[in-house]
Every structure is written in C-alpha cells, then in structure tokens.
C-alpha cells in the first residue's frame, strides 16, 4: 500500500545549468532561450503517473533541503567546470557537483532519492563531459543518472519519473 501520494522534489545545481528551464519544460512545455528572469517558474505542482497511480509532485527550484523526498542535481553536459578536477584530488573539494552533494547530505534527510542530471545534451558537438564519466560518478555516489535537454525535451519527463518511481517503489 503506498503511503505517500505527494512528494516534494528540489532542483539544485550551479547557476545557468538550466534548472528553471527544465522545470518550465516539464510543467509547461516551454523553453526560454534567454534570461531566467523571464521564466518566473520557481515552484510547480505536477501530477506524475506511476504504475496506474497518480503522484502529486511539488517541485521547487533551490528550496530548503529539509522535507524534500527527491532531488534533481543538475549540471551541464558541456561545461568542464569541475569534472576535470575530479582526478586531481578529493572531488568534493573541487567539483561543484561534489559540493552540492555535500550540501545535500548535510542538510537533508539521508533517505532522499537523488538523480544526477546532465542537462543541455542537445549541445552534443561541444560536449565536454562524456556520458560515461557522468554515469560513473553517479554510480560511485549511488545516484540515478540521466542526460536531458530542456531545449529539445529529451528525457525531461523521464528524469522526474525515474526518481518518483524509485520513491514509489521504496514506499509501496
């Protein structure tokens, strides 16, 4: 029996990785090529169907970690800011995703289900972070992994559904 029909999802990650646009694409099927200030999406409620059940997801961009069930940790596929440093030393000191993970672990319920999302997969020609590297990092950290594009919509709904399905499985 599912105890939870309503989940809270937070989107975290560096500025400009596409958090607002991912949410805008998922909730409104919209994309904003320019400033995030035109978007005006910081919170959305969206219904997600899992195994014939309807789960209501409250999705927040950069809200407090507490009381969140699910986390979408986002970075860009094409930005090398950090991933290259991973080999140099403790990646948590040098990689922005590592820092976000530390934040998450410090401030959230340890049971939070997290997906590492590599956004802007449409910019494949200038990609700087190979899929395999993102995948390996996610695996090492026990995270789900997916590459998305808010621009061409690929995997956007799938990313949200993956983590909602996981928490559904844990709680049902």
Q: Applying CB under 6 A, does 125 fall inside the site for ligand GDP?
A: no
CA distance linking residue 79 with residue 119, whole number of Å: 10
Total residues in contact with ligand GDP, by rule CB under 6 A: 18
Answer positive or negative: Cα dihedral of 59, 62, 63, 69: positive
x/- mask, ligand GDP, residues 19-58, rule CB under 6 A, reads xxx----------xxx-x----------------------
Minimum gap (Å) between residue 55 Cβ and ligand GDP:
24
Answer positive or negative: Cα dihedral of 75, 79, 85, 87: positive
Q: Applying CB under 6 A, does 149 fall inside the site for ligand GDP?
A: yes
CA distance linking residue 27 with residue 50, whole number of Å: 17
Q: Applying CB under 6 A, does 63 fall inside the site for ligand GDP?
A: no
Minimum gap (Å) between residue 46 Cβ and ligand GDP:
17
Stretch that binds ligand GDP, among 17-25, 63-71, 85-93, 107-115 (CB under 6 A): 17-25
CA distance linking residue 116 with residue 120, whole number of Å: 13
Cβ-based nearer residue to ligand GDP, 69 or 75: 75
- Within 10 angstroms of residue 80's Cβ, the number of other Cβ atoms is 11
Cβ-based nearer residue to ligand GDP, 50 or 151: 151
CA distance linking residue 10 with residue 142, whole number of Å: 18
């Amino acid at each position: 029996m599912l105890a939870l029909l309503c989940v809270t999802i937070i989107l975290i990650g560096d500025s400009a990785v596409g958090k607002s646009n991912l949410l805008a694409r998922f909730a409104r099927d919209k994309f904003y090529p320019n400033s995030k200030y035109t978007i005006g999406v910081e919170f959305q409620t969206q219904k997600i169907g899992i195994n014939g059940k309807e789960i209501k997801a409250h999705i927040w961009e950069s809200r407090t970690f507490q009381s969140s069930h699910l986390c979408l940790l986002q970075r860009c596929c094409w930005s090398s800011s950090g991933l290259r440093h991973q080999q140099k030393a403790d990646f948590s000191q040098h990689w922005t995703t590592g820092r976000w993970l530390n934040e998450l672990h410090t401030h959230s319920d340890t049971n939070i289900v997290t997906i590492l999302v590599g956004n802007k997969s449409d910019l494949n020609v200038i990609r700087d972070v190979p899929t395999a590297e993102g995948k390996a990092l996610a695996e090492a950290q026990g995270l789900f992994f997916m590459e998305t594009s808010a621009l061409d919509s690929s995997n956007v709904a799938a990313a949200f559904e993956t983590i909602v399905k996981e928490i559904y499985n844990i709680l049902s």
